[in-house]
Structure 1
Amino acid sequence: MAGAAAGTAHLCTRCPSLLMSSSMSTLRYAARRLALAPVASLASSSSQSRGGISRVRLMGVLASTRPSLGGIRTTMEPCARRELSSSVRAKVIESGSAVVEESAEVEPVPSSSVPEFKKRLRIAEIKGGEDGGLRLVGQTMTVRGWVRTCRLQKTFTFIEVNDGSAVSNIQAVVGSDVEGYDKIEAGLVNTGASVAIEGVLVESQGSKQKVELKATKLTLVGGTDPASFPIQKKKLSREYLRSVAHLRPRTNTFGAVARVRTALAFATHQFFREHGFVWVASPIITASDCEGAGEQFCVTTLIPSSHEDPKTPLSKVPTTKDGLIDWSQDFFGKPAFLTVSGQLNGETYATALCDVYTFGPTFRAENSNTTRHLAEFWMIEPELAFADLKDDMACATAYLQYVVKYVLENCKEDMEFFDKWVEKDIVTRLTNVVEKPFVHVTYTEAVELLQKAKKKFEFPVKWGADLQSEHERYLTEVAFSGNPVIVTDYPKVLICQTI
C-alpha cells in the first residue's frame, strides 16, 4: 500500500515465531604497536595536527596518515590496553594524541594478524555434497555431538551421533579395543549422551550411508539415564514436546525449523542489502499503536512480577484521584506496550534514507486460536520512498523468490524432511513460487472467479467481503494452477479495517 503523505510504499510479510537460543563468543583483539591514549587525548578533536603529522581517531583506533617519519611508526589496529614503557608513556602525555613508539625494527602488522576462528568439523560438512562424504575418506577427524542410538554387538558397537548441523546422523564404529570403550560396557553411552569420537572416515559397508567413522578414541562428555531421558528415537507428539521444551531442539523437526529459520533470516538481510536497503531496528517497547494494527500487550511495573507476589490485590495499583491508573508512577511515566509493527519507524527513516526495512519480533494480543494468528511473530516491513503499487509488487515478488530459492538450495535435506514427515508436497509448492510467474488480479476479478467456481465455500463470496483462506487457496491452487497470486485494488472499507 503506497503512502501518499509519507511518499512511501508499505509491504508486510510474516514469519512463524519460534524462539531460538544462541551462545555468543566475545572476541578480543590485541594491538602490538598501538594502545589507547589517555582519556584527555581521546576527548580531544577527532582530527588534529602536531609536528606535521595528521592524526585521525576512529572508534578507538588511532592512525597516522604518514606511516613512518624519522623512525617513528604508527599502525592502524584495534586498540587494547597494555603496559607501556615510561619513555613511551611520557611521549603520549606530551603529544596528547596517538601512541607512538620509536623502533627502527618494528614491521607493519599484516591484515591477516586477526586470529582465525577455527570452527569444529560438522556432520553437515562431512556428509554434504553429492558424494555423501566420499571425498573425505581416509582423513582423521573428531566428531562431537549427542548420541541418537547405541547398538552393541559382540566385539564392537555402532553409535549414531548428531551435532545439530543436519537431519542426518553419522555412524561411528567403535571396536572393543578402542580407548573409552569401557564407558560403553558400563552402560554410560546412551541416547542423549554427549560424546567426542576421534577416528578415520571410511566407506560404509552398510547401505544407509556412504561413509562412517572408524573410531580410535571415545570420550564421554556427559552421560544420561536411559530410563528417564525424555527424548527417544521415535515419533513424539508436539503436545509432549511442549512438556520438555529444553530438550525438543534435539528432535529432527525442531532442529530443521531452526536451521531453515536461520537461512531465511540470513537471506532476508542479504536480499535487502543487495538492493540498497537500510535496516531500521525498530524498538520492541513503544508507546505508539501504529494505526491500530492490533491489540497490544501492556508493559508495566505497577503490578509486581508473579514470582515476587502472585497474589497482588488491585488495591495496591496506584491510582489518580479519579480512580484511574496513575501511569506517572510507572517505569516510563506513561503507558507502554510491546510493538505491533515497526511501520512508523520505517516510514520516518524512509523519508530520509529512501529504501529501508524493519525485521524483528512483533506482538499482537489477539485471542484467536488459529494457525494464521500468533501472539508473537517476526515481521518484515519494507518502506520504499518514491514508489507506487507496481514497485510494491515487484519488491514482494523478488523478495519471496529470493529467500525461497535460497532455502531450497541451502537447506535441501531439511526441506526433504519436511516434505516427507511434516507437509506433503511443500517442496513442489515452494518451487512453484520460484519458477512460476506471479499472477496479478484485482479484488473485483478475484470475486468474479470465486462466484463462478463450482466449489461450495464455507464463507459466501460477495463483493465487499474479505477473502478467506479457502478463497485464497482456490485462487492459487485451482484457478491459477499453483501460481502465486497477488490481489490488488481492495475496496476502501476493507483496507481501513486492516490498518
Structure 2
Amino acid sequence: MKKSSVAEILKSETFLQEVQLKGWVRTFRSNRFIALNDGSTIKNIQCVVDFENTNEETLRRITTGAAVSIKGTLIESQGKGQTMEVQVSELEILGDSNPDEYPIQPKKHSFEFLRENAHLRVRTNTFSAVMRVRSLLSYAVHKYFQENGFNYVNTPIVTGSDAEGAGEMFKVTTFEENKAPLTEDGKIDYSQDFFGKETNLTVSGQLEAETYAMALGKVYTFGPTFRAENSNTTRHLAEFWMIEPEVAFMDLDGNMDLAEDFIKSVLTHVLENCKDDLAFLDNRLTQEEKTKPQAQRSEMSLVEKLKFVADNNFKRVSYTEAIDILRNCKPNKKKKFQFLINEWGADLQSEHERYLVEKHFKCPVILFDYPADIKAFYMRLNEDGKTVRAMDVLFPGIGEMVGGAQREERYDVLVQKMKALNIDEKELWWYLDLRKFGTAVHSGFGLGFERLVQFTTGMGNIRDVIPFPRTPQNAEF
C-alpha cells in the first residue's frame, strides 16, 4: 500500500478507503485517540486505536513525539473538531520518545526555550507553519524570476571585496592562531594565506551579480550572506539569505517597477497557496497583540497586512519630500519620535518609515533620491551632485524591506567616489572594468529573505524565521 501524507488524506473525499500514514504523535488520549502529524500540513489527523485488540506494550509506547506507522480505514468522524478520522487496523512504533525527556510536550513553550531546542522546535505548530511559509516563499522567489527571463547566478561566499564598505565582515583564513606570518611593518602577511590575499565571508553578491547582468542582461542571486555586526536585536542575524536581482539597461524607474511587481507576486502566491498556515499564524498574532498595551497594537491583522502590500499601488516619494512631511508631522513636532527630524540629510529610522506608510500615505511607499552621504559608493550620482538614484521600499510594521539603486555606470564619476571614500581601486579593478568595456545604465536591489519571511509570518523576532539562527555568542546546532 502506498503511503499517503496527512495533507493528501485531509483533501480526500473518498471514505472507506484503506490508507497508510507515517508521522509523529502529537497527543494520545484515552488510550484510544492519536493526533498524528507528518509535517505536510499544520492540521493533525485523528487515528482511532482499537485498544482492546492492541497489546499493552504498544499502547504504552504511543507517547508524544513517537514516530509511528498506521494502516487503517478512512471514515467519517463522529466527534467534534474533524470531519474524518482513521480507524486503525495496524499500528507499528517506528521510533520511541521518552515522555520524561522529550522537551516539546503538548503545552505552551516560550520562544526562548524553543530557540534552545532549535533541532526540535519545528515540531510545534508555530514553527512548522513558519517553515512551510518560508519554503513556499523561496519557491515563489525562484518562480517569479525564472518566469520573467532572469538567470540564476551563484555569487561567491568567500570574497576579497566589501560590497557595503561597512568593514563588519568575517575573516576567512587558514593561518593558525597566533602563528600568522608578518610583513616587515608588523602586519599579517596575507600573501602567504590560502587565497594569497585577505578574504572574508560575503555581505552581498551584488558587485559580482553586476558583472553577469552586463553579459546576460537579467540575473538574480539568492544565497547566504554574513555580517559580523555585534548586534543582539530582534532584527539582526550574523548569517542570513539575500535576494539580489541586477538588470542591464534598466534605470531607477524600472527598478522601482520591478521591486513592486516582485513583492506583490510572491506575497500573492503565499496568500493563495498557504491559507491554513497563514490562518494559524494570523490567529497566533491576534492573540499576541491582545497582550500589548492598546497604543502598541497593530491596526491590521497578519493577512490584512499581506493584502495591504499585495493589493495597493506603492506610493513613490522623493527623500526630500519625505523629510518635509516628517519634519512637519505631529509626532516630530511633539517630540514623540525617538529620533527627531530637524534637517535634510538625516538617515531615516524605522519609526519614520512606518509613519510614512501607516499614518501618512496609508500604503506601501518607495522613497528615492537619497543624500549621497548616507548611501553606498556604487549608487548613481544625480545631476544636483548631492543625491543618488537610490530607492527603499517601505512596509507597514517593519519599515524598510528593500534597498536598491541605479548603479553608477560612468567610469570617471565612480573613480572619484571611490577615491573620496578611500576605496582601493586595485581591489575593485574588475568592477571598474565594467565601466570601461560596454558600460550601460543598470540597476538592482537587495531584499533580506528573513525579513520578508518575518513580515509574512508575523513573527516578532528574526531568529524565529530561520532554521538555525547565527547571532553573537550563538552558533549552536
Q: Deviations over 1:5-41 (max 9, x none)?
A: xxxxxxxxxxxxxxxxxxxxxxxxxxxxxxxxxxxxx
Query: Are 1:421 and 2:284 counterparts?
Result: yes
Matched, 1:215 2:96: no
Gaps of 5+ in 1: 1-117, 304-311
Question: In 2, Cα distance between the equivalents of 1:326 and 1:452?
Answer: 54
CA distances 1:418-463 after superposition (whole Å, capped 9, x unpaired) = 2111466111100111111111111122122222322221111132
> How far apart are the structure 2 equivalents of 1:136 and 1:397?
43
Instruction: Look up the SS of the partner of 1:202 in the other structure.
Output: strand
Residue 184 of structure 1: CA displacement?
A: 3.6
Residues 173-252 of structure 1 aligned to structure 2 (within 5 Å) = 173-178=48-53, 181-185=55-59, 187-252=60-125
Paired position in structure 1 for 2:21: 143
Give the secondary-structure state (helix, strand or coil) at the position aligned to 2:191.
Answer: helix
> Residue type matched to 2:263 in 1?
L
Aligned to 1:159: 34
- Which digits, 9 at most, give the CA deviation of each residue in 1:291-325, with x for residues without a partner? 5155111111213xxxxxxxx5x2x3333343222
Instruction: Determine the structure 1 residue equivalent to 2:388.
Output: none
Q: Secondary structure at the match of 2:163?
A: coil
- Work out whether residues 183 and 220 of structure 1, in 8 Å CA contact, stay in contact via their aligned partners in 2: no
- Judged with a 3 Å threshold, the aligned counterparts in structure 2 of structure 1 residues 299 and 190 are, in CA distance, closer, same or farther, namely same
Query: Could you tell me whether the CA contact under 8 Å between 1:126 and 1:136 is conserved in 2?
Result: no
Q: How does 1:24-103 map to 2 (within 5 A)?
A: none
Match of 1:412 among 256, 261, 275: 275
Distance 1:363 1:450 in 2: 33
Aligned-pair distance for 1:408?
1.2
Which residue of the partner structure matches residue 295 of structure 1?
168
Instruction: Give the superposition deviation at 1:371.
Output: 2.9
Q: Using the alignment, how far apart are the partners of 2:360 and 2:2 within structure 1?
A: 50
Within 1, Cα distance between the matches of 2:51 and 2:97?
21
User: Paired residue for 1:67?
Assistant: none
Q: Distance in 2 between matches of 1:181 and 1:294?
A: 65
1:388 and 2:251 are equivalent in the alignment: yes
The 8 Å contact of residues 294 and 366 in structure 1, kept in 2 or not, is answered as no
Shift of 1:126: 2.1
Change in 2 beyond 3 A, CA 1:485/1:183: farther
Larger radius of gyration: 1
Aligned to 2:356: 475
> Aligned to 1:265, what secondary structure does the other structure show?
helix
Q: Does residue 347 of structure 1 match 2:228? A: no
Aligned-partner Cα distance in 1 for 2:166–2:125: 36
Residue of structure 2 aligned with 1:274, choices 139, 143, 147: 147
CA–CA distance in structure 2, aligned partners of residues 405 and 430 of structure 1: 8
TM-score, normalised with respect to structure 2: 0.72
Paired positions, count:
361
1:402 corresponds to 2:265: yes
TM-score (norm 1): 0.69
**Match of residue 114 from structure 1:** none
The answer on 1:356 being equivalent to 2:231 is: no
Cα deviation, residue 190, structure 1 = 0.3
SS at 1:136 equivalent? coil
**Shift in alpha-carbon separation, 1:119–1:269, aligned structure 2, 3 A:** farther
Relative to 1, partners in 2 of residues 1:321 and 1:489: Cα closer, same or farther, differing over 3 Å? closer
Of the three residues 342, 346, 360, the one matched with 1:465 is: 346
2:167 and 2:353 mapped to 1: Cα distance?
22
- Change in Cα spacing, 1:421 to 1:498, as seen in structure 2 (3 Å) is farther
Asked if the contact 1:181/1:218 (under 8 Å) is kept, the reply is no
Question: Is the CA contact 1:358–1:380 (under 8 Å) kept in the aligned structure 2?
Answer: yes
Equivalent position SS for 1:199: strand
Structure 1 segments, 4+ long, off by >6 Å, are: none
Task: Return the offset for 1:177.
Answer: 4.5
Does the C-alpha gap of structure 1 residues 259 and 192 become closer, same or farther in structure 2, counting only changes over 3 Å? same
Structure 2 match to 1:30: none
Structure 2 partner of 1:493: 373
Partner of 2:413: none
Secondary structure in 1 matching 2:41: coil
CA contact (8 A) 1:358 1:381 kept: yes
Q: Would you say the 8 A contact 1:280–1:345 is kept in 2?
A: no
Q: Deviations over 1:153-194 (max 9, x none)?
A: 4xxx0001111111111110011245x544443x11100000
Q: Which residue of 2 aligns with 1:448?
A: 324
Distance 1:300 1:137 in 2: 62
Distance, in Å, in 1 between the alignment partners of 2:160 and 2:255 is 28
- Residue 498 of structure 1, CA deviation: 9.4
Give the CA deviation at 1:413: 1.3
Task: State the Cα distance separating 1:195 from its structure 2 match.
Answer: 0.3
Structure 1 pair 160/266, CA: closer, same or farther in 2 (3 Å)?
Answer: same
Secondary structure (helix, strand or coil) at the match of 1:489 reads strand
* Offset of residue 496 of structure 1: 3.8
**Counterpart secondary structure, 2:316:** strand
Q: Secondary structure at the match of 1:141?
A: strand
Q: Sort the Cα spacing of 1:218 and 1:376 in 2 relative to 1 into closer, same or farther, 3 A.
A: same
* Contact 2:77–2:84 (CA under 8 A) maintained in structure 1: yes
Two-structure CA RMSD over aligned residues (Å):
2.0
Give 3-state SS (helix, strand or coil) of 1:367's partner.
coil
Cα deviation for residue 341 of structure 1 reads 0.6
Alignment of 1:368-379 (within 5 A): 368-379=231-242
Paired with 1:263 and 1:344, the residues of 2 have a C-alpha distance of 28
Matched, 1:329 2:192: yes
- What is the identity percentage for the equivalent residue pairs of Structure 1 and Structure 2? 52
Distance in 2 (CA, whole Å) between partners of 1:283 and 1:368 is 25
Cα pair 2:164 2:376 within 8 Å, conserved: no
CA distance, structure 1, for counterparts of residue 278 and residue 57 of structure 2: 36
Q: Contact between 1:282 and 1:345, CA under 8 Å: does it hold in 2?
A: yes
Distance change in 2, residues 1:239/1:210 (3 Å): same
Tell me what 1:307 maps to: none
Identify which range, 329-338 or 265-274, moves more after superposition. Answer: 329-338
CA change 1:241–1:299 in 2 (3 A) is: same
| 1:121 aligned partner | 4
CA distance in 2, matches of 1:159, 1:472: 48
Give how far 1:364 is off: 1.1
The CA deviation at 1:417 is 1.7
Helix, strand or coil: the match of 2:330? coil
- Return 5+ residue gaps in structure 2 as ranges: 290-300, 380-477
Shift of 1:328: 3.1
Which whole-Å CA distance do the structure 1 matches of 2:10 and 2:358 have between them? 36
Q: Which has the higher helix share?
A: 2
1:289 to partner: Cα distance: 1.4
